[in-house]
Amino acid sequence: MHIWGREKDMLLEAKNISVSYGAVKAIEDVTFKVNDGEIVAMIGPNGAGKSTALKAVFGMVDIQSGDILFNRESIKDLRPDEHVSKGISLVPEGRRLFPSMTVIENLEMGAFLREGNNGKADIENILELFPALKDKRRQKAGVLSTGEQQMLALGRALIQKPKLLLADEPSLGLSPSYVDTIFEKLIAINKSGTSVLLVEQNARMALEIAHRGYVFKIGQIFLEDTGKNLLESEEVKKAFLGG
């Protein structure tokens, strides 16, 4: 695919991966990739396996077959924490902040385990990116609004300076204006050089910002194309975009 007129370097490649939870096959023989600099969206109905695919990339579930390459190096046997040091960060579904810690402390947590961290300056940078958090820096994460919490979750992942950001349902439970903000931030994050692999229920928004997209259906990928083409595809329109 020549999205920007030249062949992009492949950053992440999942080849024929399958994941089962006990006897239940969650995803089967799924192949996808993220090129350097891309936003890639995974869309599909509930239970189609998109979140499982994301968890597999982060090492949170064991894959039964197939391989996952990051910078052409297999990462399928790594623990989640090792993914972070490789340059992959996760914004987990449902935000998953540390509610008893303040905004700053949550961000510090993100920077803690990173090597060569330059905590203070990085935190200020994150706060510049999310000005809504600036005034609330001393507040407990648990008392923030859902939208602010989502920004904090994004910030906590970004402070690790990932090459690839995995975002699991970042718009879930957010008010419409915050949904817009979050997607704007994802574009900004991507423009500054971070590739994004995005799992979203909000198919339209996701495809609007994505360079490419994968459509999941009962554990498999049944469509893949550029975000623009998927938005215009009759099948996707019918299934996810309400006609």
Residues near other proteins (CB under 8 A) are: 58, 60, 79-81, 83-85, 89-92, 96-101, 105, 108-110, 112-114, 156-157, 160
Rounded to 10°, the helix 119-129/146-158 angle is 140
* Secondary-structure percent of the chain, ordered helix, strand, coil, rounded to 5: 40, 30, 35
Q: Which CB atom, from 141 or from 236, has the smaller least distance to other proteins?
A: 141
The CA-atom distances, in angstroms, between 199 and each of 11, 93, 116, 119, 132 are 17, 9, 30, 29, 24
Q: Which CB atom, from 127 or from 221, has the smaller least distance to other proteins?
A: 127
Q: Are 154 and 91 in contact (CB under 8 A)?
A: yes
Q: Which CB atom, from 123 or from 207, has the smaller least distance to other proteins?
A: 123
Q: Which CB atom, from 50 or from 95, has the smaller least distance to other proteins?
A: 95
CB 150 → other proteins: shortest distance, Å?
Answer: 13
Q: Are 157 and 110 in contact (CB under 8 A)?
A: yes
CB 81 → other proteins: shortest distance, Å?
Answer: 4
Q: What is the DSSP letter of 38?
A: -
Q: Which CB atom, from 60 or from 132, has the smaller least distance to other proteins?
A: 60
Using CA atoms, how far apart are residues 92 and 79, in angstroms rounded to an integer?
16
CB 167 → other proteins: shortest distance, Å?
Answer: 11
- Residue 45: left (phi > 0), alpha (psi -120 to 50), or beta? beta
CB 140 → other proteins: shortest distance, Å?
Answer: 11
Question: 62: Cβ–Cβ under 8 A, 6 or more apart, which residues?
Answer: 19
Q: What is the DSSP letter of 78?
A: -
CB 112 → other proteins: shortest distance, Å?
Answer: 6
CB 89 → other proteins: shortest distance, Å?
Answer: 7
Q: Which CB atom, from 97 or from 205, has the smaller least distance to other proteins?
A: 97
User: Cβ–Cβ contacts within 10 Å for residue 67, how many?
Assistant: 14
